[in-house]
């Protein structure tokens, strides 16, 4: 079974706070997939952005964001933006980071709620939430904050995920992400074949590529197992509400994108955008 990644898609902005509960001043901590049941914190660098490693959730979330004209919100980015600002949580976050501690769920959801409130004030018609929630408790809290219309599970075969992760490269100078893996899985035993072309760097980055230290087969397999186990209850949560769309990626972006749009009934949006371009 392949690992999952989620993008929560809402067509309405955040609910207007009507009580102290809606201001997110007291949210209960929930658990990150990569921590044991005794933990109550998570690291946005390692947990918020990874999701199921290699599935490409950020790429598809960005494309859907552009197509629908709504913001793509990644909670890890909210943390980094707050750290770089002079906002009310900046000092607290810097102290947490300097002490080598992990950022709590309360802070993450506080940042998210403020971002949704700002979007509502600006007249944003919706949002795409990338890689969050990660637990049923977070999903329950989010349900009280905003109306989630649809949750997309992007699924990719494990052998393809492994190849993608082992092929990932980062430019040590500009930080660009590339992939040197050429994935060509032959059809057999009733399973369809799959081809995913590499994403090579531009000439100026080719000699500066580095590999992430955690992109090893052992670590990736472990991350997949943990992710699958810890996120299954969240999938069941949204499935029981009739909001879960599960989509098996058939290949690379060129092959998968139009099929994903068909699965989401968004072909008309893409046609209109192409006509306007």
- The bridge status of strand 244-248 relative to strand 150-155 is parallel
Residue 241 designated active-site? no
Q: Which two tokens stand for residue 86?
A: 């002079």
Q: Which of 57, 115, 137, 169 is catalytic?
A: 57
Set 94, 101, 118, 212: catalytic member:
212
pLDDT in the model for residue 215: 82
Kindly give the pairing relationship between strand 183-185 and strand 127-130: unpaired
> Which of 132, 140, 84 has its CA nearest to residue 108?
132
Q: What is the pLDDT of residues 215-244, one digit of tens each?
A: 888 888 887 787 778 788 988 999 999 998
Told to judge if 6 belongs to the known catalytic residues of this protein, a careful annotator would answer no
For residue 57, indicate whether it is catalytic. yes
Contact 162, 220 (CB under 8 A): yes
Q: For residue 26, what pLDDT is reported?
A: 13
Residue whose C-alpha is closest to residue 3's, from 164, 115, 144 = 164
Can 212 be counted among the known catalytic residues? yes
The contacts of residue 87 (CB under 8 Å, 6+ apart) are none
CA pair distance 224, 105, nearest whole angstrom: 22
Q: Which of 29, 114, 137, 168 is catalytic?
A: 168
Question: In the prediction, which pLDDT does 21 show?
Answer: 25
Which residue in 29, 114, 115, 134 is the catalytic one? 134
Q: Each residue's pLDDT tens digit in the chain (277 positions)?
A: 332 344 555 544 445 433 222 221 111 111 222 222 223 333 333 333 334 556 788 888 899 999 988 899 988 889 889 998 887 888 888 888 788 777 777 888 889 999 999 988 998 888 898 878 878 888 888 888 888 888 888 888 888 888 888 899 999 999 898 999 999 988 888 788 899 899 899 999 999 999 988 788 888 888 778 777 878 898 899 999 999 888 988 988 889 999 999 998 888 776 656 544 4
| DSSP state for residue 129 in the 8-state scheme | E
Annotation says 223 is catalytic: yes
Contacts 24+ apart (CB under 8 A), 83-91: none
pLDDT score for 86? 83
The structural domains of the chain, ordered by start, are 4-157+229-251 (3.40.50.300)
In the prediction, which pLDDT does 53 show? 55
Distance CA 71, CA 64 (A): 9
Instruction: Calculate the average pLDDT of the chain.
Output: 76
- Using CA atoms, how far apart are residues 235 and 240, in angstroms rounded to an integer? 9
């Amino acid at each position: 079974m392949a690992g999952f990644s989620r993008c929560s898609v809402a067509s309405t902005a955040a609910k207007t706070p009507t009580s102290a509960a809606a201001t997110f001043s007291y949210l209960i901590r929930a658990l990150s997939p990569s921590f044991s049941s005794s933990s109550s914190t998570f690291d946005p660098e390692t947990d918020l952005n990874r999701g199921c490693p290699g599935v490409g959730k950020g790429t598809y979330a960005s494309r859907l964001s552009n197509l629908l004209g709504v913001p793509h919100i990644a909670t890890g980015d909210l943390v980094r933006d707050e750290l770089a600002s002079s906002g009310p949580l900046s000092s607290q976050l810097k102290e947490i980071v300097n002490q080598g501690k992990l950022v709590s769920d309360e802070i993450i959801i506080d940042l998210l709620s403020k971002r949704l409130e700002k979007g509502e004030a600006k007249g944003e018609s919706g949002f795409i939430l990338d890689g969050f929630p990660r637990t049923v408790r977070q999903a329950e809290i989010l349900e009280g904050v905003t109306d989630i219309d649809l949750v997309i599970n992007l699924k990719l075969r494990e052998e393809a995920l492994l190849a993608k992760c082992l092929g990932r490269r980062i430019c040590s100078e500009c930080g660009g992400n590339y992939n040197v893996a050429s994935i060509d899985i032959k059809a057999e035993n009733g399973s369809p074949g799959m081809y995913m072309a590499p994403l090579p760097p531009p000439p100026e980055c080719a000699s500066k590529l580095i590999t992430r230290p955690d992109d090893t087969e052992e670590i990736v397999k472990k991350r997949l197992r943990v992710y699958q186990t810890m996120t299954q209850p969240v999938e069941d949560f949204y499935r029981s509400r009739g909001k879960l769309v599960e989509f098996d990626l058939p290949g690379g972006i060129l092959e998968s994108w139009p099929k994903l749009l068909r699965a989401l009934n968004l072909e008309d949006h893409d046609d209109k955008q192409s006509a306007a371009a």
